[in-house]
Amino acid sequence: FLSFVAEFCCGFFLILILGNFWFLAVLYLLWLYLDWETPCAGGRRSQWVRGWTVWKYFREYFPIHLIKTSELNPNHNYLLGFHPHGVLVAGAFGNFCTDPPFKNLFPGLTPYLHIMPIWFGCPFFREYIMSAGMVSASKESVSHVLSNKGGGHASVIVIGGAEESLNAHPGSLTLNILKRKGFIKMALKHGAHLVPVFSFGENELFKQVANPKGSWLRNVQEKLQKIMGFALPLFHARGVFQYSFGLIPYRQPIHTVVGSPIPVKQNLNPTTEEIDELHALYLQKLKKLFEEHKSNYGIPAHKSLIFE
């Protein structure tokens, strides 16, 4: 959906340039230059946009549910690690970029979904995603959110990133996380409590073309991902009036479970050992969260998370 909106916005900007409204395009480019740092400075959210009725139908389509397992004290800042990426990241968008799911369950906390900086270079589209509460995934952006002295801010980071979307096959439980420790360092530097989040059903929305590691397709996808910064999974799902083929996601329930917070004491200069220790604890808590809830959402007892 977001990709479609981005393409529409870019097309509209191109029409302005080529048409008789080029002066509007020039004015917007000036605005873009002056406003370039906003995605790294908390964005520009709009409660009106977050509350659009269309998001209610979006959440009900799958449907999307947000599950609370513990209180999150609004006097603290939090870093929520979202898993898995999936193809659409529907659970993250539906729960953290639309109201009222998160607001009702965690009053006093403001969620910020961090996404790849490249999206904020798209004309007009950047205004839309910022209004929904999305901000850049850069270090500066995460630091800005977690530096709120009064607490009440929650950075939501899809830890596996675009690379993990290549593993988004139905039934897949593989997470790209073993080498991803930057979020741990950020939590330590700001004393932000860590919260593991697992979204059951995220990988069931699309069927992806087989791309096992070592295959020619996977090699091409990984090379393109390194060049462009985002992955290109080849996927399909259902159509508007039939279920055999199309790009509309399947109607599969998504249950996004928010775990208990891991208290983190501020450490401006954490050592490698301290980062590794907290990372290991985070993996332990994430696995525990998954094991405690998997039976509720159709995961066989013999299946467990795979970290790589």
44, 38 contact by CB (below 8 A): yes
- At residue 271, the pLDDT reads 97
Q: Which residue has the higher pLDDT, 209 or 23?
A: 209
Do the strands 110-115 and 134-136 form a parallel or antiparallel pair, or are they unpaired? parallel
Q: What is the pLDDT of residues 178-220, one digit of tens each?
A: 999 999 999 999 999 999 999 999 999 999 999 999 999 999 9
Helix (H) or strand (E) holding 145: helix 139-146
- Cβ neighbours around 303 below 10 Å, total: 11
Q: How far apart are CA 266 and CA 172, in angstroms?
A: 35
Q: Is 157 helix (H, G, I), strand (E, B) or coil?
A: strand
Q: Which residue has the higher pLDDT, 3 or 128?
A: 128
| Single pTM value for the model | 0.92
Burial of residue 150, with CB atoms counted within 10 A of its CB: 0-12 exposed, 13-18 middle, 19 or more buried: exposed
Q: What is the pLDDT of residues 62-110, one digit of tens each?
A: 999 999 999 999 999 999 999 999 998 999 999 999 999 999 999 999 9
Going along the chain from its start, the domains and CATH numbers come out as 1-35 (no CATH), 39-307 (3.40.1130)
- Residue 42's closest CA among 148, 189, 195, 150? 148
Tokens coding 72: 């999150």
The answer to whether residue 8 scores a pLDDT higher than 60 is no
